[in-house]
Amino acid sequence: MKLRRYQGNPILKPKVENEWESRLVFNPAAIYHNGLFHLFYRAMGVDNVSRIGYGVSLDGFNFSRLDKPVFIPEGRSETGGCDDPRVIRLEDKFYMTYTAYSEGGVRVALASTANFISWKRLGVILPDIDNKDAVLFPEKIEGKYVMFHRPMDETPLSIWVAYSDDLINWNGHKKVMAPKAGNWDGVTIGASCPPLKTEKGWLLIYHGVDEDAVYRLGIALFDLKDPSMLLYRHPEPILEPQEDYELRGEVHEVVFGCGACEVGGAYFIYYGAADRVVCVATIKKEELLKLFN
């Protein structure tokens, strides 16, 4: 089973006329709301600082973009940029986890919005150690907010769960999934898209890195009531670098998802290709869930 790439990929390319996004656009968060697809993509210009741009679309393929970023680095924890956003809807607000990057390291930070354009910063939520690839679950589970994240003080880099009462203070950290030595996801793994609720469990689209530093996307299923419980991990990747725009770019051989939307019985999975352009691939929900039989 493989995702179907959109024929018109890449759907977003750098815009030389806008300094802040003149070099690279990649790794977009995605959310479907009120009949529109919204993308929040990481953009880099000549200063090599990541800002977050915004695009909106009716069909999920053709996006109109704002000429200015909607989220720009602020404060000491973000001097290097705001990387790899992930957005979810939770209790009628939208929340974005992102990687705050500075000389001090990489940290998981949180922001919220009601309108996609003006964002309120809620600060670094996982202090002290380097950490990235944080995705929030789109609802409370057993009374707690839940997040997957990827602490960087251990080898191999693995996916952990954490719980919170207020979205700011997190505890109950526990490893839930590790790389599978020798496999396509044998060296490093991290959550890619925020978990999607299905009748079979929480569907996690994650990325895996192999010994040749190739980034691929895979899927795993977690228990609906106990998201620390891994129910199934598909042995094969669902997307791997194959097209020219995935094989060659700023970093070669990379597909890196940060957002997926369920619309009309299908998943639209948005990803950065070779850290340079934004692409989309789709799969019928039914077809994907069959893997979990």
Smallest separation, CB 256 to ligand BMA (Å): 4
- Other residues' Cβ atoms within 10 Å of the Cβ of residue 184: 20
Candidate ranges 109-117, 152-160, 170-178, 250-258; the one touching ligand BMA (CB under 6 A):
250-258
Q: Which tokens hold the place of 192?
A: 């890619």
Residue with token string 């006329």: 17
Q: Among 231, 251, 289, 291, indicate the residue that binds ligand BMA (CB under 6 A).
A: 251
Integer Cα distance of 72 and 56 in angstroms: 19
Smallest separation, CB 140 to ligand BMA (Å): 28
Site for ligand BMA contains 83 (CB under 6 A): yes
Strands 4-5 and 131-136: unpaired
Integer Cα distance of 30 and 229 in angstroms: 26
Q: Among 116, 215, 267, 271, indicate the residue that binds ligand BMA (CB under 6 A).
A: 215
Residue with token string 């040749």: 212
Comparison of 27 and 131: residue with beta carbon closer to ligand BMA: 27
Comparison of 215 and 267: residue with beta carbon closer to ligand BMA: 215
Comparison of 99 and 228: residue with beta carbon closer to ligand BMA: 99
Q: Among 12, 272, 273, 288, indicate the residue that binds ligand BMA (CB under 6 A).
A: 272
Amino acid found at 1: M
Site for ligand BMA contains 206 (CB under 6 A): no
Integer Cα distance of 29 and 192 in angstroms: 10
Comparison of 221 and 260: residue with beta carbon closer to ligand BMA: 260
Apex 20 CA angle, 19 and 22, nearest 5: 60
Per-residue contact track with ligand BMA, 96 to 135, x per CB under 6 A? ----------------------------------------
Integer Cα distance of 204 and 222 in angstroms: 8
Asked if residues 218 and 233 have their Cβ atoms less than 8 Å apart, the reply is yes
Site for ligand BMA contains 27 (CB under 6 A): yes
Where does this chain bind ligand BMA (CB under 6 A)? Answer: 27, 83-84, 215, 251, 254, 256, 272, 275
